[in-house]
Amino acid sequence: MIPTLPWPRRTLALALCGTLCVVVLWPVASGSGGPPAPTGSASATSQIALASPTPETPSGPFGSASASAGATAGASASPVATPGAVATATKMPTAVPTQTDHPWAADPNLVLAKNAGRVTVDSSGRVTILAAPPPASVYPTAKQLPTSWSGLIQEPPKTGRDDKSVAYTDYNYILFCGPGTGTVVLYYWPSARDTVTTKSGTFREPVNLGTNRYASTYWKAQDAGGYGRGMIAYLAEVEWPAPDEGLSWWSRPGVMRWGSHPATYVENLVDAINWEASGHTALNYFYVIVHASDLTAAALLDHVHADIGMGVPVVIAARTSDGANSLPFWKLKSKKSAGNHFVTVVGYDDSAGTYSVMDTCGLTCNDRNVRAGMKTMSQKALYALIVAESDNDGIMW
């Protein structure tokens, strides 16, 4: 056994330990770590403070949107000193975490506030959630929102010429009732009205689904063929609220889900409407979904009274016919041979027992091949068609 002195070994051990600590802990001190906590989830607590108005957006409904949730800067690599040389900091590429996925979910606080009558819209179109319900409202027997402009909103036909007189064919256009309804709704929100009445441009689907399903068309805000077509195309093919970008249920731009059978889902539509109505500040702003299985005829009337009373319409998902009733501009046929459709309630008359229903289908869209618009129909019939809709989508109010 070779005798050793304890002090030199302890000194060597401490030196080695110190060196290891510097190597291990230096990256931690410089900012390395796990991914940032997700923000902007549609299921997060409502962004509207109780009993306080929502903040004004600085640049209008299509101005600067907030950054996508999770798009915060990642950690850069730490510089490493090279023995015998002067240490230099080398800037490495910044990692940007991807959007944290999550399922769509309603904000329970907004749902509770809406049901309690605590969500209000003032004369300037700003939403406030009150801390306590206001006195019970007395609604007039009949009320109608103005429709001189919105009543001319029409989806583009599946074939024809666009607003630059270029011939096209795109069968996806007959599926644009969701974007058409969204355009009607947003016309009544001051933060979005200017965009609805001025939006124009060239639009194309975000995915090529094949021949006659990938046209590039130019649309104005106003044309003899129909108003709001620029906004309809924008909602269908471009709309993408920042907090929803890249999520599994909203993987491409546009409120349409671009599978082999494109369709508008209520989750996409309600987020898009709230996002635009709030001036790109909130997904949980005003509109909430009530599925058909949770809706009664009396509740439908109450919701229509409340929203029309605040100057905004109600979104309806309904069957075009159930064998006994049909939407205006659609043929009476069996429920099985009918289809699902989005329309908008823009008025009511309780004495007559009717709702004023706005349909944005143009030529080649509905089964009567007529230009739709606004018509009244039985309150009882509309409720029956909501219940008959095959996806249980219900209403947004």
The C-alpha angle with vertex 153 and arms to 308 and 147, in degrees rounded to 5, equals: 40
Determine the straight-line distance between the first and last CA of the chain, rounded to whole angstroms: 88
> Can you give the chain as a three-state secondary structure string?
CCCCCHHHHHHHHHHHHHHHHHHHHHHHHCCCCCCCCCCCCCCCCCCCCECCECCCCCCCCCCCCCCCCCCCCCCCCCCCCCCCCCCCCCCCCCCCCCCCCCCCCCCHHHHHHHHCCCEEECCCCCEEECCCCCCCCCCCCEEECCCCCHHHECCCCCEEECCCCCEEECHHHHHCHHHHHHHHHHHCCHHHHHHHCCCCEEECCCCCCCCCCCCCEEECCCCCCCECHHHHHHHHHCCCCHHHCCECCECCCCCEECCCCCEECHHHHHHHHHHHHCCCCCCCCCCCEECHHHCCHHHHHHHHHHHHHCCCCEEEEEECECCCCECCCCCCCCCCCCCEEEEEEEEEECCCCEEEEECCCCCCCCCCCCCCCEEEEEHHHHHHHHHHCCCCCCEEC
Q: Which two tokens stand for residue 319?
A: 């069957």
CB 231 within 8 A of CB 244: no
User: What is the pLDDT at residue 364?
Assistant: 86
| Residue pLDDT, tens place only, 215-234 | 999 999 999 999 999 999 99
Residues linked to residue 102 through DSSP beta bridges, in sequence order: none
The topology (CATH level 3) of 140-396 is Cathepsin B; Chain A (3.90.70)
Distance of CA 360 to CAs 69, 144, 152, 357, Å? 33, 18, 8, 10
> What's the rounded Cα separation, in Å, for the pair 251 and 107?
21
Phi/psi region, residue 279 (left: phi>0; alpha: psi -120 to 50; beta: rest), is left
User: What is the pLDDT at residue 354?
Assistant: 98
Cβ neighbours, 10 Å, residue 49: 11
User: What is the pLDDT at residue 169?
Assistant: 98
pLDDT averaged per 10 residues, the chain (length 397): 36 36 33 33 32 31 31 31 34 55 95 97 94 93 98 96 97 97 98 98 97 97 96 98 96 96 97 98 98 98 98 98 98 97 98 98 90 97 98 98
Q: Please, which residues have CB within 8 angstroms of residue 356's CB and are 6 or more apart in sequence?
A: 144, 145, 147, 345, 346, 347, 348, 349, 374, 375, 376
The residue extents of the domains of the chain are 140-396
Residues linked to residue 349 through DSSP beta bridges, in sequence order: 142, 354
Q: Which two tokens stand for residue 70?
A: 């999770």
User: What is the pLDDT at residue 65?
Assistant: 31
Closest CA to 249 of 276, 233, 268: 268
Global pTM reads: 0.76
User: What is the pLDDT at residue 200?
Assistant: 98
How high is the mean pLDDT of the chain? 81
Cβ neighbours, 10 Å, residue 377: 19
| Residue pLDDT, tens place only, 90-136 | 344 454 456 789 999 999 999 999 999 999 999 899 999 999 999 98
User: What is the pLDDT at residue 17?
Assistant: 37
Amino acid residing at 368? R
